[in-house]
């Protein structure tokens, strides 16, 4: 299997330096190369807790090389789940043409993995830090379901505000396309700073990014996240917990109501750290006799065990 592997020896990182990093389990080297273990047929992050022998290890520069040579991702360090680069780069690497096409066809799109395990863990831990939030909502009190959520105060933690501003940049062109198709006489500004000013003018000044926490038996009724007349038509949710391990059930559910039709239900498969974008409320749908107005709702089915955390990024602010 290793015969097809190309050994890489860039001057800045000879294999001896790479092996040193593996021996030290150096997390700083994660993502810069991958070690393939010939005896087990798996490939690993340099920081993996496994202890392969030097003679059994070959290094490659990309995951694609490791997989092409027949190596499987290590179950221990999960190199397949490693998130590369700065948030900005991860957002740039999303296939936005495909995401926009899916949003237009179905009202939602998978954006892939945006947050690393460490970032998910940090956001879950931050749920208990009172100073980060402007308010807490116990869903039962409002008839929203069971569970609770907290809205971040301004300024939101760096990673949350970065997600909000950078995802906005990519979604605003589609929001404008939808506004035009729905014959709404408006334009969404190019960047989120300008858009927050539009929200403030409409009396919506309070930030809406939030973390939702569901325990056993909790769920979220189908709803739309509307906080006044000013609405950005697309929002993003990022799952912070691992399905099947941290919780069971808790599926992200959407319904789509088309004129003169029964509702269509859709379930978005989500992995830990992965994101979906979906329509907040109305979206245009091209039909045989012109453009239809389709209404979307979303919710979460019952969580059957342990805890499910989710980060919600809504682009309009609340009154």
67 is a site residue for Fe ion (CB under 5 A): no
301 is a site residue for Fe ion (CB under 5 A): no
Least distance from Fe ion to the Cβ atom of residue 261, Å? 23
Which residues of this chain interact with Zn ion, rule CB under 5 A?
A: 44, 48, 50, 74, 76-77
225 binds, among Fe ion, Zn ion, none (CB under 5 to 8 A by kind): Fe ion
CA distance 264 to 286: 16
255 is a site residue for Fe ion (CB under 5 A): no
76 binds, among Zn ion, Fe ion, none (CB under 5 to 8 A by kind): Zn ion
Least distance from Fe ion to the Cβ atom of residue 134, Å? 17
Q: Which residue has the tokens 């798996």?
A: 42
Closest by Cα among 265, 180, 252 to 212: 252
Least distance from Zn ion to the Cβ atom of residue 114, Å? 23
Cα 216 from chain centre = 23
251 is a site residue for Fe ion (CB under 5 A): no
Least distance from Zn ion to the Cβ atom of residue 15, Å? 18
281 is a site residue for Fe ion (CB under 5 A): no
276 binds, among Fe ion, Zn ion, none (CB under 5 to 8 A by kind): none
144 is a site residue for Fe ion (CB under 5 A): no
Least distance from Zn ion to the Cβ atom of residue 71, Å? 11
One residue of 225, 248, 251, 302 binding Fe ion per CB under 5 A: 225
Q: Which residues bind Fe ion (CB under 5 A)?
A: 225
């Amino acid at each position: 299997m290793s015969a097809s592997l190309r050994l890489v020896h860039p001057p800045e990182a000879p294999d001896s330096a790479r092996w040193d990093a593996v021996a030290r389990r150096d997390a700083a080297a994660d993502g810069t190369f991958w070690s393939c273990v010939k005896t087990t047929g798996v490939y690993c992050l340099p920081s993996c807790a496994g202890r392969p022998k030097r003679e059994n290890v070959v290094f490659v520069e990309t995951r694609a090389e490791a997989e092409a040579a027949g190596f499987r991702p290590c179950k221990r360090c999960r190199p397949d789940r490693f998130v590369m680069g700065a948030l900005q780069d991860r957002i740039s690497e999303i296939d936005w043409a495909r995401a926009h096409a899916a949003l237009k066809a179905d009202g939602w799109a998978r954006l892939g993995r945006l947050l690393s395990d460490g970032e998910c863990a940090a956001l879950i831990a931050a749920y208990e830090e009172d100073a980060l939030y402007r308010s807490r909502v116990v869903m039962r009190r409002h008839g929203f379901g069971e569970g609770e959520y907290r809205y971040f105060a301004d300024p939101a933690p760096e990673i949350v505000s970065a997600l909000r501003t950078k995802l906005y940049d990519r979604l605003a062109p589609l929001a404008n396309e939808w506004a035009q198709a729905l014959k709404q006489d408006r334009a969404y500004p190019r960047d989120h700073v300008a858009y927050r000013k539009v929200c403030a003018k409409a009396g919506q000044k309070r930030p809406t990014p939030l973390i939702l926490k569901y325990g056993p038996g909790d769920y979220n009724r189908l709803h739309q996240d509307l906080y006044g007349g000013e609405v950005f038509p697309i929002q993003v949710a990022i799952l912070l917990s691992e399905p099947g391990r941290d919780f069971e059930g808790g599926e992200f559910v959407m319904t789509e109501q088309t004129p003169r039709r029964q509702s269509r239900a859709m379930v978005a498969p989500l992995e830990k750290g992965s994101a979906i974008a979906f329509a907040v409320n109305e979206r245009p749908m091209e039909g045989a006799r012109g453009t239809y107005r389709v209404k979307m709702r979303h919710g979460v089915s019952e969580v059957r065990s342990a805890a499910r955390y989710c980060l919600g990024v809504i682009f309009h602010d609340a009154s």
